[in-house]
Amino acid sequence: MSYIDVLREAKDQVTPGMSACQGCGGELILRKALQIAGENTIIGIPPGCMAGAGVVGWNYANGLKIPVHIPLLDNSAAFFSGLSQMYQRKGRKDTNIVVLAGDGATADCGFQSLSAAAERGEKLLYICYDNEGYMNTGYQRSSTTTKGSRTSTTPIGSVVKGKTQQQKYVPLIIAMHNVEFCATASPSNMADFVAKVQKGLAASKNGFAYLHVFSPCPTGWGYAPDQGIEVARRAVKANMFPLWEMDRGEFKLNDENRKPITIAEFVKGIGKFKALSDEDIAAIQAMVDHRFEMLKRLAGK
Amino acid sequence: MERQHVTPIGNDGMYVLDTASWRILRPVMDKSKCVECGMCLAYCPVGAIIGSADKKYTITYDYCKGCGVCAAECPRKAIDMKPEGGEK
């Protein structure tokens, strides 16, 4: 069964009309992940774009066809650890326990509880849709924002030109927690994404599974809504977002990307990068190359 | 223990927004160019494209936001974005 068949046959678990922006990467990830997870699923969506878009419910109305919780920004993993423990005790081990959080609720505010849950090996799947900022509140910088990005807290001006620090690479940090399954995925490589959600759900029955998904944001990043998948594809091709997975300690590079494009080609046409200087591009390129070399060594290439 | 998948539905049922009213451009599929690869279904963020068992893909307009991802990603350029309400 190919991934297209899986997506065609599976039922949509999300309300048909939700208020995510046109061309939202997060909405695509939410819908496809829940299609694969099916109706025997409990999901937690902390504050962020997806919660704000109404899928956690609004004025006594439901946003999803399956049970959904809205934990706080910083305790999603802790909340769902408890929920998972209760489900194990009740003998409902087949229920998928899923958290879908933005990068703020994963890398910044929620990091402590996420790290603790990963270390304890709680049986749940944590999906992070990484749109590189707090998009829900008007694009403030987060720790996964790329260097040189224009955000509302690191604007482009005479003193500061965008974010001055490099991004934090969360998936590798979580992989180092000795989790059951840890992977990165991109909506542009849908076959890979579907396979990783399936693997992650299977691994979440034995331990902690983590999936870091690239989620381009047309509103915050400043590009045309129809270009979202293309931007994600360029990020994978430029090694800005390499695709790899770690299955019980075994690293595997899913896309060796023998002919990578440059960062200068990746940033073309994206509004948040329009004031990037040549030094910034060189700095990002150096960081990206170093990271990819490290991943290649981990995967034994 | 017996499994239950019952979601307690709120008093007002489902939260459904009329996202079709946001649409400025409408995707129109040219069935003669379509090779039934299903890329539009895979990439539509709204889930507005439905596929039948015999791999025929149709665009539904009830919730389509008109983002244009399907038109940009179609490998055969079988989907065109046409202005709502006709050409000016």
Q: What is the pLDDT of residues A7-39, one digit of tens each?
A: 999 999 999 999 999 999 999 999 999 999 998
Contact A226 B15 (CB under 8 A): no
Residue B11 lies inside a defined structural domain of this protein: no
| List of chain A residues with pLDDT < 50 | none
Q: Which ipTM score applies to this complex?
A: 0.89
Contact B17 A187 (CB under 8 A): no
Which pLDDT tens digit goes with each residue over A133-187?
999 999 999 999 999 999 999 999 998 889 999 999 999 999 999 999 999 999 9
Residue A56: what pLDDT?
86
Contact B1 A91 (CB under 8 A): yes
Nearest CA in chain A to B49: A8
Residue A108: what pLDDT?
93
Nearest CA in chain B to A43: B7
Residue B49: what pLDDT?
94
Domain containing residue B37: 29-83
Nearest CA to CA, how far is B38 from chain A (Å)? Answer: 6
Domain containing residue A240: 3-298
Residue A283: what pLDDT?
96
A73/A192 Cα distance (integer angstroms): 29
Residue B49 lies inside a defined structural domain of this protein: yes
- DSSP strands (E only) in chain A: 41-44, 68-69, 96-102, 125-130, 181-185, 209-214, 244-247, 250-253
Residue B10 lies inside a defined structural domain of this protein: no
Residue B14 lies inside a defined structural domain of this protein: no
Relative to beta strand A209-214, strand A181-185 is parallel
* Confidence class for position B11, pLDDT limits 50, 70, 90: low
Nearest CA in chain B to A34: B47
Nearest Cα residue to A129 out of A24, A202, A10: A24
Nearest CA in chain A to B48: A16
Residue B5: what pLDDT?
44
Nearest CA to CA, how far is B2 from chain A (Å)? Answer: 9
Residue B86: what pLDDT?
75
Residue A234: what pLDDT?
96
Residue B88: what pLDDT?
59
Residue B4 lies inside a defined structural domain of this protein: no
What's the domain count of chain B? 1
Residue B79 lies inside a defined structural domain of this protein: yes
Chain B interface, best mutation among A5, A18, A50, A89, by max B CB count within 10 A = A18
Contact B7 A62 (CB under 8 A): yes
- Enumerate the H helices of B23-74 as residue ranges: 39-43, 69-73
CATH code of residue A208: 3.40.50.970
Residue A60: what pLDDT?
78
Residue B41 lies inside a defined structural domain of this protein: yes
Residue B4: what pLDDT?
43
Residue B1: what pLDDT?
46
Chain B residues close to A190, C-beta within 8 Å: 42-43
CATH code of residue B74: 3.30.70.20
Residue B12: what pLDDT?
67
What's the domain count of chain A? 1
Residue B85: what pLDDT?
81
Chain B residues close to A60, C-beta within 8 Å: 10-12
Residues 6+ apart with CB under 8 A from A83: A42, A44, A69, A97
Backbone angles phi, psi at A19, to 5 degrees: -90, 40
Residue A59: what pLDDT?
77
Contact A8 B1 (CB under 8 A): no
Question: Looking at the predicted structure, is the pLDDT value of residue B87 above 70?
Answer: no
Answer whether A285 touches B (CB < 8 Å).
no
Residue A61: what pLDDT?
83
